[in-house]
Amino acid sequence: MDKIRFGTMKDGRDASLFTLTNRNGMRVSVTDYGAAAVSLLVPDKTGGFLDVIRGFDDVSGYENTVTYMGATIGRHAGQIKNAAFELNGKTYNLAVNERDYNLHGGSEGFNSRLFAMESFTERELVLSYLSKDGESGFPGNLKVLVAYSLSDDNALGINFNGCCDQDTILSMTNHAYFNLNGPESASAMDHMLMIYAENYTEADYQGLPTGRIIPVSGTPYDFREFHVIGDRINEPHPELIFCKGYDHNWIISPECDRSAMRICCELKSPGSLIHMQVFSNQPGLQMYSGNYMDGADIGKCGVVYTARSSICLEPQVCPNGLHIPHFPSPVLKKGEEYIYRSMYRFLV
């Protein structure tokens, strides 16, 4: 394990970078700013290692980006329509930070917070954050734990726990951008993807889920077998046009059962031959093809991050569920424990 300084934040505080290593040499580095994954080196076909996620060289990149690069997302992943919700008869108004809705917890979500280190060993890092009552408009004093772990079968675990002193809203995810071809690859559109879902949630012209659950059969959203991501991304399907590509939620667990981990998706690179499997206990999976990355971010090794150069695979509760009664609820009751489990396993 290793801990180094990761630069100075705008407010003068120092950020840190923590690195975990397994016995095979696989490594993940995480910063306490936004509890963000910065790099993930996994074995490739040559016997070496490739960094398969996007990131920045120091904390300033994470402070200045609007892409949620590698970050822990909260209090609420995805969109909340009209940037408002009702809970226990009271209306809570949130910041509008995307079109006319609240996205990923607002402009000051967990991705922009400095987490505290709870514990750090060779194989596990646990970070914590106390989100105070009223922060970003959400109710209750909420403490969350973020645990990154590495196993010797080359699996990265990302787990979240939370507890609040009031009824509140909590729906978290990790926002890593993957490119299994390596850090200098300009596109992830050659990757092959399989999603274990029969249905996806329809999006409107703003990308907001409408509440309609649509069978994937016969649509560009059918990834029940491995399919090249870029093959159908430019089809004249209304939602692909509105979203400039994929930015949709698939229904992984129709019964909304969060008691056990299940496989969500698999991603393969034809170049590096790296094969990633994603497991979680969440009912949905958001796949985002990096449509709005416009080259403004210059990442590790001076690489410019452009549209569709990487993809996000985010296990989570379905976005906009606060406004759609038949979607899984993101409400966390006072004193109850929020439990989120995910795992990214790498094969070659």
Q: CA 219 to CA 262: how far, in whole Å?
A: 24
Task: Tell whether the model's pLDDT for residue 182 goes beyond 90.
Answer: yes
* Structure confidence by residue, pLDDT tens digits, 301-315: 899 999 999 999 999
Tell me which architecture the domain covering 2-347 has in CATH. Distorted Sandwich (2.70)
Q: CA 147 to CA 158: how far, in whole Å?
A: 6
Nearest to 76 by CA among 284, 259, 320: 320
The two structure tokens encoding residue 38 = 């910065």
- pLDDT band of residue 50 (cuts 50, 70, 90) is very high
**Mean pLDDT for all residues in the chain:** 96
Active-site annotation holder among 175, 191, 248, 323:
175
Mean pLDDT value across residues 107-126: 97
Residue 240 DSSP class: H
Nearest to 76 by CA among 55, 97, 59, 61: 97
Q: CA 260 to CA 247: how far, in whole Å?
A: 26
Q: What letter represents residue 241's amino acid?
A: I
Order across the sheet with 36-43: list the strands.
2-8, 14-21, 27-31, 36-43, 49-51
* Structure confidence by residue, pLDDT tens digits, 147-163: 999 999 999 999 999 99
Contact 250, 199 (CB under 8 A): yes
pLDDT of 338 reads 97
Whether the link from the prior residue into 23 is cis, omega within 30° of 0, is no
User: pTM higher than 0.95 for the full model?
Assistant: yes
Task: Tell whether the model's pLDDT for residue 259 goes beyond 90.
Answer: no
The two structure tokens encoding residue 107 = 């402009």
Instruction: Name 332's Cβ contacts closer than 8 Å, sequence gap at least 6.
Output: 142, 162, 164, 167, 168, 169, 170, 338
Instruction: Name 185's Cβ contacts closer than 8 Å, sequence gap at least 6.
Output: 179, 271, 309
* Structure confidence by residue, pLDDT tens digits, 201-236: 999 998 899 999 999 999 999 999 999 999 999 999
CA distances (Å), origin 130, targets 110, 127, 140: 10, 11, 10
Q: What letter represents residue 187's amino acid?
A: S
In the residue annotation, 175 being an active-site residue is answered as: yes
- pLDDT band of residue 318 (cuts 50, 70, 90) is very high
pLDDT of 179 reads 98
**Residue 31 DSSP SS3:** strand
**Residue 238 DSSP SS3:** helix
pLDDT of 60 reads 98
pLDDT of 93 reads 97
Burial of 58 (0-12, 13-18, 19+ CB in 10 A): middle
Ordered by start, the domain boundaries in the chain are: 2-347
The two structure tokens encoding residue 240 = 């692909």
Active-site annotation holder among 135, 239, 266, 314:
314
Sign of CA pseudo-dihedral 36, 41, 43, 44: positive
Contact 101, 80 (CB under 8 A): yes
- Alpha-carbon torsion, ordered 25, 31, 138, 282, to 10 deg: -10
255: left (phi over 0), alpha (psi -120 to 50) or beta: alpha
